Copies of this chain bind each other. A is one copy, B any other.
């Protein structure tokens, strides 16, 4: 998710920023701009490089742009669910891009439909547009505040309202959002790596509950929403964000490296070599190797080419899907006691194939180490964890899981270990998928029906 304000090449910058954010969603991509009179938008299914062909940029005129990459499969893959959503309504022409998940979207949608609204997508995001259209407030910002008073859950959003760029982050601060500067232009983005690609300077995080409004008059910051305890998603740090990003104020690479060191302390093992599951386990494996003073090698190689094939494997080829993506290096593995490090273990199907693959190449022992606690619960805030039934750690103890994976041992980082790495931010993360302690449940009401005094003239 990205927003650009005040750059003659806004759409181009937005598309490039989406390239840097591609890891946050591969199902679809889109960019909307305001050309001074009308909204323009190009969206499509697939990767950014597939959606934006050589001629798609020309129509996206204007100095303000927002962009989005679509991640979740929730809502189906119909083109109309790909963001930015763009509508014309009583609130004017508006485009919106949303990262996160609203926990009361279903009920709000029912209410709105009962009042005669017609929804065009199955995205929870569209609720915000209908609340905007239904609001009796007179200014766009007040309409938006009124709308946000009714929604609950996780949202980092950018909106484009006829030349005005608005960025807002929910009061819990679940999903990341940063503010940067590129010359005279403003950039907001989900992660700092998008700023780096553009050569923009990171200014600061958008605060939890903060609304930033950028227009011809400059940047204005509001805190119109009720305060909540900060609950930044720890899974962003562990798994989701790019290692070269600074997320929630901390560099990701070093955090993951530190998780690996901590894991080595908690789960040491007599072994010959430490290898990562590439690329996800790389920083953690380096930390583990460093702390345990074991040699680090690449025992698994990741294919440079997308492992996509339309050719279904014949039965003889066991674990073909994994093998197209990861290749074991016999020379590193044969006869060795191997520690394999990864950043998560959710369904376990890939891990099981990896263990088998390493043994097939002669590994004497295979010890699996995970730089996160067991994932015991789903996420209501925008991470697409599988149903609880499919979560290994929801049904089995670590020992049982290790046995099922046919590993010689399995070690997870403890929740305490994770919190130790959080340092002074300890207690300010959402760890619900590990702890079961959910900050807000599906079906919860929005923050209040009683609205605050609004910013005059906003």
Contacts and interface: CB of A to CB of B under 8 A. Distances in A.
Contacts of A329: 243-244, 251, 253
B311 A57 contact: yes
Interface stretch (A112-120, A154-162, A427-435): A112-120
Given A182-B316, A254-B331, A311-B15, A243 B301 contact: yes
Contact of A295 (B89, B290, B295, B307): B290
Contacts of A54: 310
Given A19-B309, A330-B251, A317 B118 contact: no
A151 interface: no
Contact of A330 (B12, B89, B244, B307): B244
Contacts of A89: 113, 116-119
Interface in A279-331: 279, 282-283, 286, 290, 295-298, 301-314, 316-318, 320, 323-324, 327-331
A385 to B, nearest CB: 20
A198 B313 CA distance: 10
A240 interface: no
A383 interface: no
A119 B313 CA distance: 36
Contacts of A304: 22-23, 279
Nearest to A50: B308
B118 A116 contact: no
A251 to B, nearest CB: 4
A183 B279 CA distance: 34
A213 interface: no
Interface residues of A, number: 83
A338 B52 CA distance: 37
A373 to B, nearest CB: 24
Contacts of A327: 20, 193, 196-197, 242, 244
A279 B301 contact: yes
Nearest to A11: B311
A332 interface: yes
A80 to B, nearest CB: 8
A394 interface: no
A358 interface: no
A100 B145 CA distance: 41
Given A115-B116, A244-B327, A298 B283 contact: yes
Q: Which 7 residue pairs are nearest across A and B when measured between Cβ atoms?
A: A116-B134, A251-B331, A49-B308, A54-B310, A244-B327, A116-B133, A120-B120
Interface of A: 9, 12-13, 15-16, 19-20, 22-23, 26, 47-49, 52-54, 56-57, 87-90, 113-120, 129-130, 133-135, 182-183, 193, 196-199, 242-244, 251, 253-254, 279, 282-283, 286, 290, 295-298, 301-314, 316-318, 320, 323-324, 327-332
Given A9-B314, A117-B133, 5 more contacts: A52-B311, A118-B129, A242-B301, A243-B298, A286-B296
25 contacts: A12-B311, A12-B314, A15-B311, A19-B305, A19-B307, A19-B324, A22-B304, A23-B304, A26-B305, A47-B305, A47-B306, A52-B309, A88-B119, A89-B116, A116-B130, A117-B133, A118-B133, A120-B120, A196-B328, A198-B316, A251-B330, A253-B298, A279-B301, A286-B296, A286-B298
